[in-house]
């Protein structure tokens, strides 16, 4: 028997669905609209959030049914994780898959789902909804803060 938490003793493939889901830190960065340069493949984040993102909790307002409302919503899987290059450097799934530990503010470490917001690495208070916004205007909302770590792993 070990005193180590599951994310230190299991691979992502070995995790139960509940363990997998708990790796989400609730930052909301996955739910930001992104733009991809067709020529270079470079992806940039915008401060425009999916219409289902609750801007206060940074959680999906209808997680269970999100793909009916937003058909292009990505269901993160192990295979998808390795193919998606735009996940922020703070993403728990990305960190564990790359052999790193979770940051001190991750709720599984801190015991508090608010620490991701207190550490300043979430989308809370930084977004506008995509509803009513012309897709042609997305370039006006490009931001770099989702790619900044903000605090060292502790």
Q: Which positions of the chain have pLDDT values less than 70?
A: 1-2, 149-154
Residue recorded with tokens 């993102």:
53
Q: Which uninterrupted H or E stretch holds 19?
A: helix 17-22
Look at residue 44 in the predicted model and tell me its pLDDT: 94
pLDDT confidence of residue 105: 95
- Integer Cα distance of 46 and 65 in angstroms: 24
pLDDT for 59: 92
Domain assignment present for residue 105? The answer is yes
Q: Report which of 99, 107, 109 is spatially closest to residue 154, judged by C-alpha positions.
A: 109
In a domain, residue 149? The reply is no
Q: What is the pTM (predicted TM-score) of this model?
A: 0.88
Is residue 154 in some structural domain?
A: no
Asked whether residue 5 is domain-assigned, the answer is no
Q: 121 with 150: CB under 8 angstroms?
A: yes
For the chain, the domain total comes to 1
For residue 20, give the H/E element and its range: helix 17-22
Predicted confidence at residue 48, as pLDDT, reads 97
Q: Is residue 59 part of a domain?
A: yes
Per the structure, the complete domain to which residue 113 belongs is given by 13-142
In a domain, 7, yes or no: no
Yes or no: say if 75 and 67 are a contact pair by the CB < 8 Å rule: yes
pLDDT for res 149: 67
Residues 95-116 have pLDDT tens digits of 999 999 999 999 999 999 999 9
Q: Which pLDDT does position 2 carry in this prediction?
A: 66
Quick one: pLDDT at residue 151?
45
Specify if 24 maps to a domain. yes
From the list 1, 69, 5, 79, the residue with the least C-alpha distance to 31 is: 69
Any idea what DSSP says for residue 102? P
Are 130 and 33 in contact by the 8 Å Cβ rule? The answer is yes
Domain assignment present for residue 97? The answer is yes
């Amino acid at each position: 028997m070990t005193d180590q938490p599951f994310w230190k003793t299991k691979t992502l493939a070995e995790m139960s669905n509940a363990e997998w889901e708990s790796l989400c830190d609730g930052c909301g960065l996955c739910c930001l609209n992104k733009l991809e340069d067709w020529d270079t493949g470079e992806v940039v984040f915008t401060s425009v959030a999916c219409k289902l993102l609750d801007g206060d909790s940074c959680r999906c307002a209808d997680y269970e049914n999100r793909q009916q409302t937003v058909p292009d919503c990505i269901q993160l899987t192990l295979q998808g994780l390795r193919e998606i290059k735009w996940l922020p450097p703070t993403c728990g799934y990305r960190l564990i898959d790359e052999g790193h530990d979770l940051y001190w503010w991750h709720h599984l470490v801190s015991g508090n789902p608010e620490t991701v917001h207190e550490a300043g690495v979430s989308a809370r208070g930084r977004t506008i909804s995509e509803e009513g916004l012309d897709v042609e205007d997305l370039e006006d909302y490009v931001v770099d803060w989702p790619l900044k770590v903000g605090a060292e792993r502790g």
